[in-house]
Amino acid sequence: MQEVKPGIYYENTYPGSTLGAILLPRGMLFIDTPLRPEDAHTWKTTLLNRSSGTIHKMLVCLDDHPDRTIGANGLECSILAHKEATDTLKEYSTIFRGQLPESGSIWEKYPETTGLQWVVPDICYNQQIKFHWGEPTVIVEHHPGPRPGASWVLIPDQKVAFIGDAAVVKGPPFLGKANIETWIETLDHLLSSEFKDYTLISGRGGEISQAKIKDQRKTLRKIHKRVEKLASREASPDDVAELATNFLDDFKTLKEDREFYKQRLKHGLYQYYMNNYFHNPEEKK
């Protein structure tokens, strides 16, 4: 567990997304959750041992991706997410059954997650919500792009931001539910002077530099341009998925993870094209 500023932590050792936690005088905010119930219990216990007289506890899910939401029940507290993320989670079955096989998600490596009870957030918000549980004030804001219901957690007084999947440290991002043009605008905002002195915590890998974020923005622009070109030719979704080989080297990967991340990119490109460009000729009749 890394302490970014007093009472502000992130944890990168559990399977799933990078976790965060903020210990405040009148409460504790968890940011995302481990995949497995036993890890959630350990994470919660570790933080409770560092807190003093915590009154409130709440989990903030930075989006609806299974990696960061399957294990939400394990923290045994109220859950907050953006309205669009909440609406998506309401559409899923109560029991997680592994709905997106071969998507390059971390949960696919842990078959024990199948059968866990998938809970819906208790509280949702539209644009912004603030926590006044003693200093510092914590802000949860909507920043779409990687997914429609993506959120950031900001602690302006400490200049720390948890940015979820807006930018990733290693491996390619998940593209399936993305709006790449909006995503690029979100990264432009993250690269503005407002965040110049911030410590930025990625939901996939921990602390991330402005240089790394610029690299991802550049790659997203290239992907968008190539997909637009294929769309103008009415290419098939399979043709678009094959772009994965072209772009995989733009992302940091270990040799042993290369095929896993290639599958993530292929699946994401296929779904992105299906969601944003592809129209079945039968639909035109």
Domain definitions of the chain by residue range: 2-209
26 vs 152, residue with greater confidence: 152
CA-angle at 140, arms to 169 and 35, nearest 5°: 55
Instruction: Average the pLDDT over 129-136 and give the result.
Output: 92
pLDDT digits 0-9 by tens, 243-269? 998 898 888 777 888 888 999 999 999
* CA distance readout (Å), 181 to 9, 217, 277: 31, 10, 13
Residue 186 CA from chain centroid, whole number: 14
pLDDT digits 0-9 by tens, 180-231? 999 999 999 999 999 999 999 999 999 999 999 999 999 999 999 999 999 8
Q: What is the CATH number of domain 2-209?
A: 3.60.15.10
Q: Residue 181: count other Cβ atoms within 10 Å of its Cβ.
A: 13
pLDDT digits 0-9 by tens, 163-186? 999 999 988 999 999 999 999 999
Q: Please determine, for residue 283, whether its predicted confidence score (pLDDT) is greater than 80.
A: no
Measured distance CA(178)–CA(53) in Å, rounded: 40
Measured distance CA(265)–CA(270) in Å, rounded: 8
Beta strands in 61-159 (DSSP E): 78-82, 123-125, 128-131, 138-142, 151-155
Indicate the length of the chain as a whole number: 285
CA-angle at 195, arms to 165 and 247, nearest 5°: 40
